Chain A
Amino acid sequence: MPRSLWTGSLSFGLVNVPVAMYSGVADRDLHFRQLHAKDHTPVETHRFCAEEDAEVPYDEIANGYETDDDEMVILTDAELAAAAPHRSRTIDIEAFVDIDDVDPIYFDHPYVLMPSGEAEGIQRAYRMLVEVMGRTERAALGRVVMRTKEYLTLIRARDERLVLTTLLWHDEVRPTDPIPAPTKKDKPAKKEVDAAVELIESFSCDWDPSRYEDSFQKELRKIVKRKAKGQTIEIPDDEGEQPSPVPDLMAALERSLEEAKSR
């Protein structure tokens, strides 16, 4: 059982469900350690006070905020918790929204919310929330404070459990207007769009995440094995050239469609 990252209460009207939050992401990466080159002793990271040149135990470390006039304001974790004591322990469901209404650009990190406590009442209230959200295909919006940040969260039912996705705040998504976009005079002809749509359709399928595998991690494991046997690792070529744009879009589309059909 993984460790919970947050525990508190999910509040829906006057119903309070004690919950524990777990990460929805599993780290599958190969991890490397920093080693002392001469004898391969793993090095450790220690915190030092720059002024005293001495090691500082963890409980003597606080959060520093530099003001505009270069003053350092010091806040302990306990003091920071005073900024939003209620939201550090409770997710109040503020509203329900249709999941499709939320653009994926806002999705941040996934978590799983499980009932915390074996009491029948807790388990039943949790199941009721799962049931009602599953039936309506709606997601709950609520806020939570974790560590030193407040998150807007989207809570929905999945596999008879509640899952939570933290969302970015609207001002954390950059505006698209400074991004160079095509202009009116780049507007494609209707027959070009139709041909491109036909090409898209011919390469369409369902979203199936199991199709994709992390080939980088797979290769990296092979490289570690080869290196362990004392073999040399070949460094591949540098970045290739960027292909130049095609001169005739329609001709390229037609040829692509022919190739797609002859598959």
Chain B
Amino acid sequence: MAPRSLWNGSIAFGLVTVPVKVYTATESRSVHFREVHAKDGSRIEHRRICPKEDKAVASDEIVRGYQVSARKWVELTDEEIAAAAGTQTRLIDVDHFVPADEIDPVYYDKAYYLGAQDKGRDAYALLLAALEKAGRAGVGRWVFHNRERTVIVRPLDDVLALHTMRFADEVVEPSDFELERVRRKPSEQEIKMAGRLVDGLHTDFDPADHEDSYREAVLELVKAKAAGKNIELPEPEEAESADDLLAQLEASLSA
């Protein structure tokens, strides 16, 4: 079955326009649970309560507000919030290109695929071929769901992939976390031994080598519980702490 596109528009690249359709590229496969009342499994509803009146509030009596001072709220409609995105366009304006392998993984947010439209397939094929040959990703802006995002467009297999990117101020710098001082830094010998351990575990990354075994385990639990079996709760395990680093590395290497 052909998937449904989320958005139709064009990529503008110089004076060339590439008509595209946007498709979602990812989907969660986790076992899905819903909130239930523990004693009998009844459905749980989320109700909106006015604490002053202590009663439920109908959705047409609810507005959105931003708190500007202790007692003052500014009320905004959905349209007014959407106005922050400016004029809606049907254009992803790609105006510069970067080496995709320079982008730190933390910036990648959500992934989409770009499909070709019936008209302008030649322009799609051209952009795909040129990005591949140049080894670059296009950077542009995309207004989707009333919100402007920075996106990159890059070749992936025989299609173009589009990623929404996080803004720099949304990314937490690791150096914001303080490291304790150590009296003795890890020795060259320890680092070398750890390096040998790393080499020994080095492998090519093939996503298909890794299966989510937890899903199966959860479904097994569900089956056991449905059959009326008692679920044994696990005992907490005590992890050994790293006291003698060198001895542990040696033991790991000979294991």
Interface 1/0 per residue, A213-225 and B, CB below 8 Å: 1111101101110
Q: B245 CB to closest chain A CB, in angstroms?
A: 6
Assign chain B's interface to a size class: 35 or more
The answer to whether residues A105 and B111 also contact, given A207-B98, A242-B19 and a CB cut-off of 8 A, is: yes
How far is A168 from B211 in the complex, measured between Cα atoms in Å? 10
Chain A residues whose CB sits within 8 angstroms of the CB of B37 once the complex forms: 49, 51-52, 56, 60-62
Chain A interface secondary structure, helix, strand, loop or mixed? mixed
Which of B17, B88, B148, B214 has the most chain A CB atoms inside 10 A of its CB? B214
Q: Are B113 and A219 in contact (CB under 8 A)?
A: no
Which of A133, A148, A212, A219 has the most chain B CB atoms inside 10 A of its CB? A212
Q: Are B232 and A242 in contact (CB under 8 A)?
A: no
Chain B residues whose CB sits within 8 angstroms of the CB of A118 once the complex forms: 180
Chain B residues whose CB sits within 8 angstroms of the CB of A60 once the complex forms: 37-39
Q: Which of A133, A145, A179 contacts B3 (CB 8 A)?
A: A179
Q: A25 CB to closest chain B CB, in angstroms?
A: 6
The answer to whether residues A253 and B80 also contact, given A25-B166, A26-B170, A181-B158 and a CB cut-off of 8 A, is: no
Q: Are A197 and B130 in contact (CB under 8 A)?
A: yes
How far is A22 from B177 in the complex, measured between Cα atoms in Å? 10
Q: Are B222 and A245 in contact (CB under 8 A)?
A: no
Which of A25, A207, A237 has the most chain B CB atoms inside 10 A of its CB? A207
Q: A171 CB to closest chain B CB, in angstroms?
A: 6
A193-213 at interface with B (beta carbon < 8 Å):
193, 196-197, 199-201, 203-207, 209-210, 212-213
> Which A residue sits closest to B29, measured CB to CB?
A172
Q: Are B158 and A176 in contact (CB under 8 A)?
A: yes
Q: Are B66 and A30 in contact (CB under 8 A)?
A: yes
How far is A103 from B131 in the complex, measured between Cα atoms in Å? 16
Q: Are A193 and B175 in contact (CB under 8 A)?
A: no
Q: Are B212 and A82 in contact (CB under 8 A)?
A: no
The verdict on B2 contacting chain A, using a C-beta distance below 8 Å, is: yes
The answer to whether residues A87 and B214 also contact, given A41-B50, A216-B147 and a CB cut-off of 8 A, is: yes
Chain A residues whose CB sits within 8 angstroms of the CB of B52 once the complex forms: 36, 39, 41
Chain A residues whose CB sits within 8 angstroms of the CB of B136 once the complex forms: 200, 204
Chain A residues whose CB sits within 8 angstroms of the CB of B130 once the complex forms: 188, 193, 196-197, 199-200
Q: Are A80 and B172 in contact (CB under 8 A)?
A: no
> Which B residue sits closest to A51, measured CB to CB?
B42
Chain B residues whose CB sits within 8 angstroms of the CB of A237 once the complex forms: 87-88
How far is A14 from B87 in the complex, measured between Cα atoms in Å? 58
How far is A59 from B244 in the complex, measured between Cα atoms in Å? 42
Q: Are A45 and B2 in contact (CB under 8 A)?
A: no
Interface 1/0 per residue, A227-263 and B, CB below 8 Å: 1100001111111111111100100110111011000
Q: Are B121 and A179 in contact (CB under 8 A)?
A: no
The answer to whether residues A205 and B96 also contact, given A89-B237, A138-B202 and a CB cut-off of 8 A, is: yes
Chain A residues whose CB sits within 8 angstroms of the CB of B103 once the complex forms: 104, 207
How far is A223 from B134 in the complex, measured between Cα atoms in Å? 41
Q: Are A245 and B8 in contact (CB under 8 A)?
A: no
Q: Are A89 and B239 in contact (CB under 8 A)?
A: yes
Q: Are B177 and A114 in contact (CB under 8 A)?
A: yes
The answer to whether residues A46 and B46 also contact, given A163-B106, A242-B10 and a CB cut-off of 8 A, is: yes
Q: Are A197 and B226 in contact (CB under 8 A)?
A: no
Q: Are A83 and B218 in contact (CB under 8 A)?
A: yes
How far is A175 from B255 in the complex, measured between Cα atoms in Å? 40
The answer to whether residues A101 and B204 also contact, given A23-B172, A125-B242, A210-B168 and a CB cut-off of 8 A, is: yes
Q: Are A242 and B9 in contact (CB under 8 A)?
A: yes
The verdict on A3 contacting chain B, using a C-beta distance below 8 Å, is: no
B1-35 at interface with A (beta carbon < 8 Å):
1-3, 8-10, 12-19, 21, 23-35
Chain A residues whose CB sits within 8 angstroms of the CB of B211 once the complex forms: 169
Q: Are B240 and A83 in contact (CB under 8 A)?
A: no
Q: Which of A9, A14, A98 contacts B248 (CB 8 A)?
A: A14
5 intermolecular pairs with C-beta atoms under 8 Å apart: A36-B52, A48-B47, A120-B182, A141-B205, A196-B129
**6 shortest interchain CB distances as A-B pairs:** A13-B252, A256-B14, A245-B120, A150-B214, A85-B234, A64-B36
Assuming A46-B48, A51-B37, what are 8 further A-B pairs, CB within 8 angstroms? A13-B255, A42-B65, A45-B48, A65-B31, A81-B234, A179-B115, A223-B83, A234-B83
